[in-house]
Structure 1
Amino acid sequence: MSTESVTSSPQAGRSSLAGKTFIGKLGTWLMIISTLAVGFVIFVEMMNILFYSPWEDENFLFRLSGSLSGVAIGPLTYLMFGSLLVALMMGLPLAFVTGGLGVIFIYLVGDSMMLNLVPSRIFPMMTNSDLAAIPLFIFMASMLERAGLIEEMFTVVYKWMGGLSGGLATATILASTILAAMVGVIGAAVVTMGIIALPAMLKRGYDHQIAIGSIMAGGTLGILIPPSILAILYAVVAQQSVGELYLGSLLPGLMLSGMYIVYVLVRTWINPKLGPPVAVEDRISFKAKLLLLKDLIAPLILVALVLGLLFGGIATPVEAAGIGSFGAILVAMKHGAFSIRSLREASVTTAKASAMVLWIMFGASVFVGFYILQGGQDFITETILGIGLSPYAVLFLLMFLLVVLGMFLDWVGILLLAVPIFIPIVEALTFDGLFGLPAVPGEDVVLWFGVLYLVNMQMSFLSPPFGYALFYIRGVCPPEISMMTIFKSSLAFLAMQCIGLALCVLFPAIITWLPNLVYG
């Protein structure tokens, strides 16, 4: 019996892998065939327009152009977003799905002149200087990662905190907080800390839920703590100052980090078996702890320099990111980890990640731009405001929709599809404060909503059953840890994120105080 079960397990794994491979290949071929079909239709239409009179209907091979021009915005909304959902469920890439559907609906609803919408939406993004900070910050993170600084940082924090009950989990959250100020990319933080910290905690008998939950919750802090890539994209879409958004998200990020640490320390203080401290013989003296700090001096100075220049208004985000990229190379040299190979690998990683983000931006911009041009923005605004809910109830509805979208789309797709539609709704509302608490000044509403959006995205990464962080950590967990255990480990930290979000709603000064103090 046991032999059969052991031998059948690899077969089941291979069959499952084969099934996934088949589905992936099927989705790829469907995308290729549909692309060729659409390209053929567009080619034939262009030939007819160029060589025949466009006014003679009988000369047209296809009569699809403008065939949906009489469709009202309500049915068009269901048609556009329904087709988007179907395409995504087929496993097609978001970047090509949004852009392709945008062009198709322009062709079906409008005319040839409406195709001018495509370059008119893409070109302003191409000339937006703030977007240049994205590849530079990604390169900075890639170089610091290849320099081995993440392992060193965890070692230092672990040696300092290991003597406490829950010290390793606390060290993981602290290291993730520092890492968030270096990386700004979520997947890399969760996977890297999972590879480094999870074996150390499991070896010392940590509760699986606390060990895994601390890694996932700490890893998602990169959404909030500067230099967050998502914050840059939000600032571009919402026409918000990147520096103000960074300052606004700093206190909520540190607040959540502190909540995670307090939770771990209290749980392990009540029941030390959940997170036993490091054995006495493995601890080091205070002098040795101080000597360990020298390994963190260079990267911490680099992070402080980059954020200080940015917050102080001395440098733009692009200039600060450029200084950070150059500084990351110097830090890698100092640690003896710089080489032509590491530079090439960091550059390739940067190019792939930046291309993914920018292609999604271009495609989603065309899709949403066409929808707004057709009156979609007014339709959504009137529908939501016409329900008769209070401003805070509308805000809760938008937050709920963002969390639901986070279960199916990645963070870039949600930003570019939802935020351009949600911001005018929020701007049309007046938030006078709940329970007699302070109101949100009108000029701070977009900034306030932006940070709430970032907290929502952090929640979506941890939300079962489709949160991205759940599957990032699954890839580095040992086989004996089930997916259900991973789901359960996220719930306590997800509840703390809900509390943090509620505090930011009730006390908007948590978000607005620091930007107003620095920028007036």
Structure 2
Amino acid sequence: MTVNAPAVAPQGGSLIGKISTWVMILATLALGLIVLVEVINIVFYDPYEDDYFLFRLAGSLADTEIAPLTYLMFGSLLVALMMGLPLAFVTGGLGVAFIYLVGDALMLNLVPSRIFPMMTNSDLAAIPLFIFMASMLERAGLIEEMFTVVYKWMGGLSGGLAMATILASTILAAMVGVIGAAVVTMGIIALPAMLKRGYDHQIALGSIMAGGTLGILIPPSILAILYAVVAQQSVGELYLGAVIPGLLLSGMYIFYVLVRTWINPQLGPPVAESERISLGQKLLLLKDLVAPLILVMLVLGLLFGGVATPVEAAGIGSFGAVLVAWKHGAFSVSTLREASVTTAKATAMVLWIMFGASIFVGFYILQGGQSFITATILGTGLSPYGILFLLMILLVVLGMFLDWVGILLLAVPIFIPIVKALTFDGLFGLPAVPGEDVVLWFGVLYLVNMQMSFLSPPFGYALFYIRGVCPPDISMGTIFRSSLVFLALQALGLMLCVVFPALVTWLPNLVYG
């Protein structure tokens, strides 16, 4: 979850950007003028006249076939997003517009019918609670303390600082699950330390970005909750299914850094002897982590054990985060207010995107879009694993341009019925994926895909988060290159989860039977 992180993006100023801005302004003014004229006609002239321009548009696309309607809807969405309009209002606005153009005024009842079930879904209440927990622990100085402890333990090894960054990010992912904050804060803390000691730029930057994005996969992931709601999947099962892949990816990152720096120690020199501490001092450092570690074990333990629902576990975690902040001397009315404001902003962003995308996709499915997409993809003649590979590529490509919440709500409702219709008999003679585990398995594959999207050039979010805290002499090209090896490791991890589905399904089946 991108909480409290600067959304650093390429600076506008290109010719295309200026043209898009002016097109957006002119289109808005034209639409506003049309609406103003119609309002004046209705208010001051004949309010019962049904021949006004806007009224004549109702049902004007009623005879449009689903194929051209698909191109029209998603083409309009792409153009609006490229113009820089917010995803939540673009999807919701286009959804309402197409409902009116294809149907009539009565079809607008689809809007409340799509939104109300979300408003009454209790699992969504866990989102603001987990975001508040993350915000409070972040303001308690947890990220700095975590890196300090792990750095003191591992700094004496070649590549120790990079491995410490990845390990600290892994532990933080299990505590707070904040992606943007983890990447930015680790960039501020760990990057200068690594550059000062002569670390290879690509290893230093890549370890920060790859480690920071683990929060989207390792519980308590906000994205996993949203997927569970959309896919009608158990949050606890999805969390358990993501544990082994998350730890596997973290281990692969650390192993890569270890091997590279073992072959060439100059890529990641160990810290000087004068900066190292004794084993007793290392053990003493752990006392600062006792409270937050107990908190995360309590929250995840209650959730995995079936003792508490996700909302109850998140509520306990939020209260525990306040206690941890108080123990670390970081709790105050100001801290509480800042964490609450951050929670409100992040939650509102997520929910608005959910509402808008739900209207857009709901209308598209109602018009037969689901059947059209399913028939098109199944009609390619690809094998089930070929179709799965195609869906994974589409998710990664979407991740280069769209926010992960938008991808979830636009693509996953369409992809899940396709995956359910397929039978995965296993690759290379390995065990098949049981039918009842397919949605769970695909969910974890989706989470790994979204982690890849954060590192995918040219528009991966993590690339611009780290750009915002890098020294000026590090170019965007260096940042792009530093992501490629770790992106390849993520692709390898994704392939392992496809080939060995038990990496995902074993733990949930063990706990929940």
TM-score range, shorter chain: over 0.9
**Which of 473, 480, 500 in structure 1 is aligned with 2:493?**
500
Instruction: Give the CA deviation at 1:463.
Output: 1.0
**Which of 100, 107, 111 in structure 1 is aligned with 2:93?**
100
Residues 302 and 327, structure 1, Cα contact 8 Å, conserved in 2: yes
Instruction: Give the CA deviation at 1:184.
Output: 1.8
**Which of 289, 308, 313 in structure 1 is aligned with 2:301?**
308
Report the Cα distance in structure 2 between the residues aligned to 1:90 and 1:383, rounded to whole angstroms: 29
Per the alignment, residue 11 of structure 1 pairs with none
Corresponding position: 1:111 with 2:107? no
Report the Cα distance in structure 1 between the residues aligned to 2:38 and 2:85, rounded to whole angstroms: 21
1:450-481 C-alpha deviation (Å, 9 max, x unpaired): 00000011111111111111111111100000
Corresponding position: 1:193 with 2:186? yes
Per the alignment, residue 243 of structure 1 pairs with 236
Structure 1 runs of 4+ aligned residues shifted over 3 Å read 15-48, 58-62
Report the Cα distance in structure 2 between the residues aligned to 1:309 and 1:344, rounded to whole angstroms: 28
Identify if the C-alpha distance between structure 1 residues 349 and 507 changes in structure 2 by more than 3 Å, giving closer, same or farther: same
Report the Cα distance in structure 2 between the residues aligned to 1:379 and 1:45, rounded to whole angstroms: 41
**Which of 41, 48, 53 in structure 2 is aligned with 1:52?**
48
Report the Cα distance in structure 1 between the residues aligned to 2:314 and 2:36, rounded to whole angstroms: 43
1:319-342 C-alpha deviation (Å, 9 max, x unpaired): 111100000000000011000001
Report the Cα distance in structure 2 between the residues aligned to 1:325 and 1:458, rounded to whole angstroms: 25
**Which of 414, 420, 433 in structure 1 is aligned with 2:426?**
433
Identify if the C-alpha distance between structure 1 residues 61 and 111 changes in structure 2 by more than 3 Å, giving closer, same or farther: closer
Per the alignment, residue 504 of structure 2 pairs with 511
In the TM superposition, what are the counterparts of 1:109-508 in structure 2 within 5 Å?
109-508=102-501
Report the Cα distance in structure 1 between the residues aligned to 2:108 and 2:369, rounded to whole angstroms: 18
Instruction: Give the CA deviation at 1:192.
Output: 1.2
1:29-58 C-alpha deviation (Å, 9 max, x unpaired): 46854774686599689989x95376xxx5
**Which of 68, 71, 75 in structure 1 is aligned with 2:64?**
71
Report the Cα distance in structure 1 between the residues aligned to 2:327 and 2:122, rounded to whole angstroms: 31
Report the Cα distance in structure 2 between the residues aligned to 1:31 and 1:153, rounded to whole angstroms: 50
Identify if the C-alpha distance between structure 1 residues 252 and 34 changes in structure 2 by more than 3 Å, giving closer, same or farther: farther
Report the Cα distance in structure 2 between the residues aligned to 1:194 and 1:442, rounded to whole angstroms: 43
2:403 partner letter: D
Per the alignment, residue 8 of structure 1 pairs with none
The secondary structure found in structure 2 opposite 1:511 is helix
Per the alignment, residue 5 of structure 2 pairs with none
Identify if the C-alpha distance between structure 1 residues 144 and 78 changes in structure 2 by more than 3 Å, giving closer, same or farther: same
Q: TM-score, normalised by structure 1?
A: 0.93
Residues 452 and 487, structure 2, Cα contact 8 Å, conserved in 1: yes
Residues 92 and 355, structure 2, Cα contact 8 Å, conserved in 1: yes
Residues 38 and 52, structure 2, Cα contact 8 Å, conserved in 1: no
Report the Cα distance in structure 1 between the residues aligned to 2:180 and 2:16, rounded to whole angstroms: 22
CA RMSD of aligned residues (A): 2.2
Identify if the C-alpha distance between structure 1 residues 447 and 38 changes in structure 2 by more than 3 Å, giving closer, same or farther: farther
My pick for the range that moved more, 30-39 or 308-317, is 30-39
Report the Cα distance in structure 2 between the residues aligned to 1:454 and 1:45, rounded to whole angstroms: 51
Identify if the C-alpha distance between structure 1 residues 246 and 425 changes in structure 2 by more than 3 Å, giving closer, same or farther: same
Residues 45 and 60, structure 1, Cα contact 8 Å, conserved in 2: no
Identify if the C-alpha distance between structure 1 residues 24 and 74 changes in structure 2 by more than 3 Å, giving closer, same or farther: closer
Identify if the C-alpha distance between structure 1 residues 357 and 16 changes in structure 2 by more than 3 Å, giving closer, same or farther: closer
Identify if the C-alpha distance between structure 1 residues 320 and 63 changes in structure 2 by more than 3 Å, giving closer, same or farther: same
My pick for the range that moved more, 20-29 or 321-330, is 20-29
Identify if the C-alpha distance between structure 1 residues 82 and 45 changes in structure 2 by more than 3 Å, giving closer, same or farther: farther
The secondary structure found in structure 2 opposite 1:181 is helix
Identity of matched residues, %? 82
Per the alignment, residue 3 of structure 2 pairs with none
Aligned length: 502
Report the Cα distance in structure 1 between the residues aligned to 2:254 and 2:348, rounded to whole angstroms: 36
Residues 135 and 351, structure 1, Cα contact 8 Å, conserved in 2: yes
The secondary structure found in structure 1 opposite 2:84 is coil
2:371 partner letter: D
Identify if the C-alpha distance between structure 1 residues 287 and 128 changes in structure 2 by more than 3 Å, giving closer, same or farther: same
1:287-311 C-alpha deviation (Å, 9 max, x unpaired): 0000000000011110111000100
Residues 151 and 161, structure 2, Cα contact 8 Å, conserved in 1: yes
Report the Cα distance in structure 2 between the residues aligned to 1:364 and 1:193, rounded to whole angstroms: 32
Per the alignment, residue 4 of structure 1 pairs with none
Report the Cα distance in structure 2 between the residues aligned to 1:234 and 1:384, rounded to whole angstroms: 22
Identify if the C-alpha distance between structure 1 residues 433 and 16 changes in structure 2 by more than 3 Å, giving closer, same or farther: closer
Residues 183 and 189, structure 1, Cα contact 8 Å, conserved in 2: no
Residues 38 and 54, structure 2, Cα contact 8 Å, conserved in 1: no
Report the Cα distance in structure 1 between the residues aligned to 2:66 and 2:261, rounded to whole angstroms: 55
Per the alignment, residue 6 of structure 2 pairs with none
My pick for the range that moved more, 352-361 or 30-39, is 30-39
Residues 41 and 62, structure 1, Cα contact 8 Å, conserved in 2: no
The secondary structure found in structure 2 opposite 1:456 is helix
Residues 398 and 407, structure 2, Cα contact 8 Å, conserved in 1: yes
